[in-house]
Structure 1
Amino acid sequence: MMAVHNVIISFVISMFLLPGLSSGGTMTEYNNLYNTYLKGYNKDCRPVQDQSTVTNASLYFYLESIADLDEVSSKLVTVGLFTIRWRDEAIIWDPSIYGNTTSLNIDESLVWKPSMALFNTMSTNVGLLGFKQSKVQYIYNGSALWNVADRYQTTCDFDTTYFPFDEQTCEIKISAWDYTTDVLIIDPLIQTVDLTYYRENGAWELVSTAAKPEILSYFSFVVFTLNLKRRAMFFIIYLLIPLFTMLLLNTLVFMLPAGSGERVSYSINCLLALTVFLTLVSEGLPQDSKPMPVIGYVLTVYLIISAIISVETMVILSLQHKEENDEIPPLFRKLYNIFNCAACKKRSGTVKAYSSHIDLEKVEEIDIQNNPNNLPLTWKKLSNRLDTICFVSSLSFVIVVGVAFFVIVAVKP
């Protein structure tokens, strides 16, 4: 039923807006009508016989495109057409007297009109709707239509918590700034924005629209709401994938041979590349700390992980190049035993019997050949074990942080 009602309203509006409505009559009859009703017309007086009567105006919004949505400056730029409709009791005529002339176009500066302004404008002026080139169209029964097409800059409160998988709700607030509600009330003609001529935006998907009236401090408002969803593919290709790739490459520093002489330079280069990348990326991220985007924490954690990898690389190399005669501290021995799975396993209680004539050194030699982990702990062996531990832990942290980020944005309210 509501859909049928909206179709009927759209049909009625199209009858008034489309140029197919014939005004009829001759030029002389049109001029006579024009001069008759403009003579003595007072544009500063509301066109109602009983001045205590409240004037009702209806708004209709055709959205043509979303030209820009800038989260850095919290700005929404839209291109569209506002249609304002009201009844003017001072301009009513009988078409048969004027050669069946049914409509009349008058410059907006010569007649009364409900003063409309963008309440949340970002432009330098007060956001008044209309300009001298526009006309007000009058129908013989007193209906007045005023079409205002323009490029509108309004504010938008961004919530970038789940950037780049965020959704935004932006509002365009129109106020009747000249009159209080006891004189003028404005309402939306329908409860949505007309998207007949809308052109898709490459960065944002328009999910839904709404229109509702509001009363604020004795003034009447109409609020047009646009629910937008960011198209995240651009940021996935140019932000997330390169970021994860750089972190994965950074963890591979532990796979390089210690004698190659490239490990420190490789880790530092990865850290510098990530820092430069984050600097460039931050220019395109929302400059907002309330709320802080989750991806901001992710980038910070990844930068810290990259720095830790560089420090670990230097420490491991310093251990690798220690003299083998230097004693290994007990702490390192304990850490080695903790992380060495083979050393953590208890030996079987089975005792092998050897002939009494077999030399004890040969027995130890056989034991070492059967179990290489029984070799004495050296600095080189310790550093190799630390390489494995650091590689696995760094890679695990990178994956866990990435998975946590996608889980958070996936279960967002």
Structure 2
Amino acid sequence: MADKKLSPFNFGGFFIFLLCFQTVNGVTLASDWQFFYNKIFADYNKLSFPMNNQSDQLNVSISMKLDNIQEFSDRDGTITLVGNFIISWKSEILTWTEKPVGVIDVITTAKIPRSDLWYPPIYTYNGVDQLSVVGTNNDLIDVRFDGTHTWKPAFIIKAGCDVNIELFPFDSQTCSFDMSHLDYSPEELSLSTTSTSLDTTDFAQNIVWDMNTTTVSTRSTSKATYVSFTIHLKRRSTYFVIVLAAPILLLGIINGFAFLMPIDHGRVGFSMTVYLTFSVFLTIIGDNLPRTSNPLSTLSLYIVILMAFSGVITIISIFTVRQHLKTVDLKVPSVVAFIVGTMCCMVCRCKREKKATIHPDGISISSYDFADKKRKFDVYYLPQEHKFGVSNVKWDKWKKREEIEEPPPYTKKLTCSERCWFCRVPEEMTWVTVSRAFDYLLFLATIAVHSYLAYVFLNPMLKEGGYV
């Protein structure tokens, strides 16, 4: 191998070595430094492979200490990490005794610049920037007397990450990057790790992401050995729930109340405003998420469907306004009158049954008072004009309330036709009545459809976020 050839030692790092020299028993004289340097490093060459038998395999151990996540861009699919690696190996050609001959003090460790030593060329894969060896020539390597080298290069790595935004804003992300060697075969140099997770002792929490777990693994191929570092992140979703999810859910509910608004109070304008509001939220989400369709954000799809649903509500509102403004003299088709009358009768039958007695001055509606266990009868005046149900009858100028222990013998149940005017005279139905009936029907249908959509789309996200 060309990189195993010997060449003269670079004496430029000698003075740095002297300044970084460590002893155990106190201060070492400058003459001892020079003697130690000349004796130990005289025959050393940094281009030499650090094994006595050049065909032996060198094992390099790699671990990682993570300080913080500087940035995670889910739109660009990148993550920026700050920390340092801990790389160690054992050289067989750079060793000495704890107390070299001719040196007064015991010397166990020396800090040598990387530029003056052989070091394993370790590269970081999955990086967004250009491929380069970790560390710089200004890094110091701890060298022990038994040949153990410990190198702790600091790093700021910007690596690529496959972002999954399907359950945004309750999503979890898994990012990983590999480290390997390019200049040596697996038979010459192998990588290993001493830990199954990252060192997060001094880790500073990110304001957007929580780091759940970390893993470290190794794998080998015919060309190289790889060490993979994996980080599992979970988004802090409270902010997005308040500013995105909750308003969208409320807008979907409010959308159906357009059918309860009076015709002359801007029903169509209200529907259009809700429609445009959905488009604003869709734009906000689109500006913060990656432009990918695999997978598509469930929240974005939910907003698109709500926009389409809001558009349908706007169109229906226009038709209901047109029906309401039709002239009173225009006769309602018998089919439409039958449908509306049937719906009204069904509503009447679903209501609580009421009892009434024929009174000289009107109809007496009975109710049961559970407090004193007595029947009470309120007398109402039945007007001549037809009204929609008993709830629309007018009070007389006087109100009579009498209490008796038992109901009078002439009490009877009100039939649907007696409670609902449409069941009696459907031929007198107007378009105003038709539009009002359909307004209530459309309101209930809108609430039901929105509840179903919210359950289908939001329930999986809420489960992922731990809210369900």
Query: Into which bin does the TM-score normalised by the smaller protein fall?
Result: 0.7 to 0.9
Deviations 1:235-294 (A, max 9, x none): 10111011122222322222211122x112121122112212221222112322112222
Aligned to 2:322: 318
Q: CA deviation at 1:22?
A: 4.8
Unaligned regions of 5+ residues in structure 1, if any? 1-18, 347-362
Aligned length: 378
User: Identity percentage over the alignment?
Assistant: 23
Equivalent positions of 1:159-198 (< 5 A) are: 159-198=164-203
Contact 2:285–2:300 (CA under 8 A) maintained in structure 1: no
Deviations 1:293-349 (A, max 9, x none): 222221111111211121111111011111222233455345435643437969xxx
Aligned to 2:301: 297
Contact 1:66–1:78 (CA under 8 A) maintained in structure 2: yes
CA shift in 2, pair 1:34/1:248, >3 Å: farther
Deviations 1:5-63 (A, max 9, x none): xxxxxxxxxxxxxx9x8555334323433444444433232110001110001011111
CA shift in 2, pair 1:320/1:116, >3 Å: same
Contact 1:119–1:127 (CA under 8 A) maintained in structure 2: no
Deviations 1:177-227 (A, max 9, x none): 221211111111111111111111121111111111111342011011111
CA distance in 2, matches of 1:365, 1:134: 95
Q: Which protein shows a greater Rg?
A: 2
Aligned to 1:403: 455
Q: Does 1:247 align with 2:255?
A: no
User: What TM-score comes out, normalization by structure 1 length?
Assistant: 0.84
Q: Does 1:377 align with 2:429?
A: yes
SS in 2 for 1:404: helix
CA distance in 1, matches of 2:134, 2:290: 30
Aligned to 2:331: 327
Equivalent positions of 1:156-305 (< 5 A) are: 156-260=161-265, 262-305=266-309
Contact 1:171–1:224 (CA under 8 A) maintained in structure 2: yes
CA shift in 2, pair 1:93/1:364, >3 Å: closer
SS in 1 for 2:83: strand
Kindly indicate which of the two structures has a greater share of residues assigned to helix. 1
CA root-mean-square deviation:
2.8
Contact 2:165–2:289 (CA under 8 A) maintained in structure 1: no
Q: CA deviation at 1:365?
A: 7.6
User: What TM-score comes out, normalization by structure 2 length?
Assistant: 0.75
CA distance in 2, matches of 1:184, 1:309: 69
Instruction: Identify the range of structure 1 (246-255 vs 52-61) with the bigger mean alpha-carbon deviation.
Output: 246-255
Which amino acid in 2 is paired with 1:371? C
Contact 2:278–2:303 (CA under 8 A) maintained in structure 1: no
CA shift in 2, pair 1:211/1:370, >3 Å: closer
Which amino acid in 1 is paired with 2:315? V
From 92, 112, 122, give the equivalent of 2:118.
112
CA distance in 2, matches of 1:379, 1:237: 43
CA shift in 2, pair 1:342/1:41, >3 Å: same
CA distance in 2, matches of 1:27, 1:389: 97
CA shift in 2, pair 1:66/1:293, >3 Å: same
CA shift in 2, pair 1:325/1:78, >3 Å: same
CA distance in 2, matches of 1:343, 1:142: 91
Instruction: Identify the range of structure 1 (230-239 vs 331-340) with the bigger mean alpha-carbon deviation.
Output: 331-340
Contact 1:58–1:189 (CA under 8 A) maintained in structure 2: yes
